[in-house]
Amino acid sequence: MKKCLSLLAIFIVVTLVSTATAQDKKVVIEDFIKQHEGFEENADGEIIPINIKEINKKIRFFIDEKFPNVEYTRNIIWDSYETFISPFDKFHFHTFICQTKVIDIQRLKYLEVKYNPLDGKVNSDFVWYEEQEEFYPEKEIEEAEQGEETEN
């Protein structure tokens, strides 16, 4: 019994230590300040964030990897910068709207992606919905499908 308790205690300690070291780096106030100070306004009055060329490359790469049905991406436009600060959590990200050409679709489609300046990663909550030939937030599609299931 003592051996089992000892093994359990070791397992718990190892799990806690590995979880603590595997957690993402937290955003600090200086990160927010750096992002705000890095905004520029171009001749057209559009706001441009820090390292826009590098961000655009990352966004294009992300779209190529996640959406093989996209033929090409152009006109990546900065949309917004969002911050969240509370006693328990802090995060920030930029939102971009990307004009895409989807294979076998005539009209250009728009996709929203988020860029995390802390880790340099791009992500999107949107997925391609073949039936509607549009990008939709994954959550909306899941909710719609669940609604259809409850009706049947």
Instruction: Scan for tokens 């230590």, then name that residue.
Output: 17
What residue ranges in 32-141 does DSSP mark as E strands? 40-41, 47-48, 70-85, 90-102, 109-116, 121-123, 126-129, 134-137
Q: Where are the domains of the chain?
A: 25-151
- Quick check: pTM over 0.85? no
Q: What is the pLDDT along the chain (152 residues), one digit of tens a residue?
A: 555 445 444 444 444 444 444 445 778 878 888 887 888 888 888 888 878 999 999 999 999 999 999 999 999 999 999 998 888 888 899 999 999 999 999 999 999 999 999 999 999 999 999 889 999 998 887 777 777 666 65
Q: What secondary structure does DSSP assign to 88-102, as a single string?
A: S-EEEEEEEEEEEEE
The rounded mean pLDDT for the chain is 82
Minimal CA–CA distance to 49: which of 36, 59, 58? 36
Which residues does residue 100 pair with via DSSP β-bridges, in sequence order? 73, 109
